Amino acid sequence: MDLGKLRGPLHLTKLAFFGSVAVLTCVKIGQLGVPNRHLRSPAAAGRRASSQEEPAQTRNALLADGCTDVYLDVGSNIGVQVRKLYEPGNYEYAKVLPLFDKWFGSPKRRARPSDQSGLCVFGFEANPVHAKRLRSLEAAYQKQGWRVHFFVPVAVSAKSEGNVTFHSNGGSEYGNWGGSVAHTSKANSKDFTVPTFSLADFIETHIKPRALGVHADAGKPPAVVMKMDIEGSEYSVLPELVRRHLMCADVVSLAFFEWHGPKFAPGQTQASIADVQASVRDGRGCPPPQLAPEVSAVDDETYLQDGVPFPQQGVSQQEPPQARSALLADGCTYVYLDVGSNIGAQAQRIFTTGNHRNPFFDYWVRERSYRRTGLCVFGFEANPVHATRLQSLEADYKKKGWRVHFFVPVAVSAKSEGNVTFHSKRKWGGSVAFSVPTFSLADFIETHIKPRALVARAKAQKPPAVVMNMDIEGSEYSVLPELVRRRLLCADVVNEAIIKWQIPALAPGVTEASAADVKASVRDGRGCPPPQLASKIVDMNGMRR
């Protein structure tokens, strides 16, 4: 798609007001709405007229006129990165949020209409499979007053030179995350013909010379932030940006990338890849006193499956629109529920190997790399004696980037109903009584686990998993029936449960018959709606731990 060709006569179809700038939408080439050659931005008239003798209406209106801040989402996929920008409350654990806060201001500022915030987004995606969703997201955001436009399907390239074949590596039930114009490793990939799109032309034509909005915050310079994740094509696109001096701080303030290896970039070697990366990092060719843009190592692939409904028109613009509250397990593909954590030994076995490896979790997560991708642990312990140790373990694991949280002291119960007395046995005899709050495990699973937004998985064919380990000294006979009643012990919620059954004598009010009924209801998946099956149940009694 040659942006240079957009300057000739155009067939006009619609007049739209894009923020504070009127834009005439024209016949689309691969979904690009182009401006009328003679349309002129009001901001341009006041701020960019460089010559009083030049006719005032000869400058083209630019797509980014009126945009103080610009986010370029190069490789949009299903648009989740853009959603994190405008709806951070729904993506609490996204790694990119600190960058957005630094360059574009607070979530409250970003939630304002674009004619107040000056924030605009342009996304680029080659996969036609995502076109319908991206257009729906764009429409929903424009109803909020946010200037967002996705160019889809377009293959971002060094130059606009006809069409290319895009290999969509889909086929799994978990989405169509992969795809490339250069590489496919999937036997079931589907090929599409899509137009090329020169990112350098777009930045040089519409971003660099844009007329800024009058709403720029005092003391805050304009910002252009670019994310690039285009599956190996970065090594052909970036050299053109460098050659035209567009990867300099006066054009792009911050850039962050997902770098791909030679396998995804035919014709590239480790040396040529390193040279491209160095040219960006060093600001090669940037004329003094211009410097290289800031380059961040952030690679944020959280929440790729999204699942959050689009915002509705009429939501207050003074705060980020909350389609739903952020959940504690958002971003967790794999969840381990350690119900009865004691001193945290089971959680330690999740993250370590050797003698401490947890064989139960290996059933779902066989490769060590998965333990660094979308794995979360939630522990529950009633004994206040273990609180300091568990909190110290949690803090140590968080420093390593592992998502672990212990609820301590809490007595896991069928319902949250005030406090109960917990008796902690002494090694030397006797016991100490503590008053601890009750905690509804059913509420936690129903609120934070079942509807969680998933993170990207290391392999598309590996399904999400929830594994529960329960050892709560007889309380299982009151807790599990509530999980069964709410259909939470079904395979679509909890894949596997490892339960240490206590003898009924340790559970006041429980008989042999009632204990057998609880076990049967769990084992048989009582109440699970077809075609859902029961969770896989492992009896911890008699197993070697």
Q: How many helices (H) and strands (E) would you count in the chain? A: 15, 20
Report the pLDDT value the prediction gives residue 362, as an integer from 0 to 100.
55
Report the pLDDT value the prediction gives residue 256, as an integer from 0 to 100.
94
Report the pLDDT value the prediction gives residue 250, as an integer from 0 to 100.
93
Report the pLDDT value the prediction gives residue 48, as an integer from 0 to 100.
39
Report the pLDDT value the prediction gives residue 156, as an integer from 0 to 100.
92
Residue whose token pair is 């932030």: 225
Q: Does domain 334-539 have CATH number 3.30.530?
A: no
- Cα–Cα dist 36/48, whole Å: 18
DSSP assignment string, 324-338: SPPPTTTT-SEEEEE
- Cα–Cα dist 82/183, whole Å: 26
- Cα–Cα dist 469/378, whole Å: 11
Report the pLDDT value the prediction gives residue 14, as an integer from 0 to 100.
34
Report the pLDDT value the prediction gives residue 430, as an integer from 0 to 100.
53
Find out whether 303 and 453 touch, Cβ atoms under 8 Å. yes
DSSP assignment string, 497-512: EEE-PPPGGGSTT--H
Report the pLDDT value the prediction gives residue 171, as an integer from 0 to 100.
45
- Cα–Cα dist 406/390, whole Å: 7
Sign of the C-alpha dihedral, residues 64, 70, 74, 76? Answer: negative
Q: Which residues contact 521 (CB under 8 A, 6 or more apart)?
A: 480, 481, 484, 527
Report the pLDDT value the prediction gives residue 354, as an integer from 0 to 100.
52
Report the pLDDT value the prediction gives residue 258, as an integer from 0 to 100.
87
DSSP annotation of 465: E
Residue whose token pair is 């600190």: 98
Domain ranges for the chain = 63-296, 334-539
| Run means of pLDDT, 10 residues per run, the chain, 545 residues | 44 36 37 35 36 50 93 94 92 86 93 93 93 94 96 91 78 47 59 91 95 70 93 90 94 92 82 92 86 88 75 53 65 90 86 56 47 79 92 86 89 89 68 85 92 63 81 92 92 89 86 93 85 73 43
- Cα–Cα dist 372/283, whole Å: 33
